Amino acid sequence: MITASNDKQSYPIPVASAPVTAPDAVPRPRLPKELVKSTLFLLKRLGDAVRERAVPEFLAAGCNPYHHAVLALLAEGARDTQAEIADALRFDRSHLVGLLDDLEADGFVSRERDPHDRRRHVVKITRAGKQALVQRRAVMKRIENEFLAPLDAESRKQLHELLLKLASYHDVRYGGS
């Protein structure tokens, strides 16, 4: 990102027209063709792009992706233990405790001790949590649409199916065999 600017400079003699180095004269940095041909390289870099671009946008809209994942999981059914939630999302268990504290403070989840086993906490999403989830889904959809902008509906469907096949192969939690 090279930008020509006269800001914060003072010139004893007026500066005339053409810049010494035209922006076009700077060769664009290009990745090695060999890496661009590697599907694993593209996957890794696009994963980074999601982390670097989409996640901050989601955060800027007041949505924490970790909170979103927990709410999405609980919306599909209450969980008997915190460990169950951590394992499904593959979150560190102590990290999850903090997330549940946040969500409980916002009134989005409730934790109740199991009367039959005092060590267990049944975790449920509240009505306010469900409302928050609806609003977050809309934000997520918008960000997803922006990120996938160069692909038409058919290409998006194709991409999703291919990624899901690959993800299911590497991780049973996606519901693969």
Task: Identify the H or E element spanning 135.
Answer: helix 127-147
Q: How many CB atoms lie under 10 A from the CB of residue 73?
A: 16
CB of 100 closer than 8 Å to CB of 110: no
106 phi and psi angles, rounded to 5 deg: -80, -5
- Residue 105: closest CA among 64, 136, 61: 64
- Could you give the angle at which helices 82-89 and 93-105 cross, rounded to 10 degrees? 110
| Residues comprising the chain, all counted | 177
Decide whether 97 or 148 has the Cβ nearer to a second copy: 148
Contact between 7 and a second copy per CB under 8 A: no
Interface with a second copy includes 153 (CB under 8 A)? Answer: no
166 is an interface residue for a second copy by CB under 8 A: yes
Q: Which positions from 96 through 135 interact with a second copy, judged by CB under 8 A? A: none
Please answer whether residues 60 and 44 qualify as being in contact, where contact means their C-beta atoms are separated by less than 8 angstroms. Answer: no
> What is the Cα–Cα distance from 36 to 139, expressed in whole angstroms?
31
Q: Binding a second copy by CB under 8 A: which of 44, 93, 95, 130?
A: 44
For tokens 């005339």, what's the residue? 16
- Which of 15, 32, 105, 153 is in the footprint of a second copy by CB under 8 A? 32
Q: If binding means CB under 8 A, how many residues of this protein chain bind a second copy?
A: 65
- x-or-dash string of contact with a second copy, 57-96, rule CB under 8 A: ------------x--xx-xxx------x--xxx-------
Figure out which of the listed residues 45, 93, 95, 113 binds a second copy, where binding follows CB under 8 A. Answer: 45
Q: Binding of a second copy at residue 150 (CB under 8 A)?
A: yes
The binding site for a second copy (CB under 8 A) comprises 1, 28-40, 42-51, 53-55, 69, 72-73, 75-77, 84, 87-89, 137, 140, 143-144, 147-151, 155-156, 158-160, 162-175
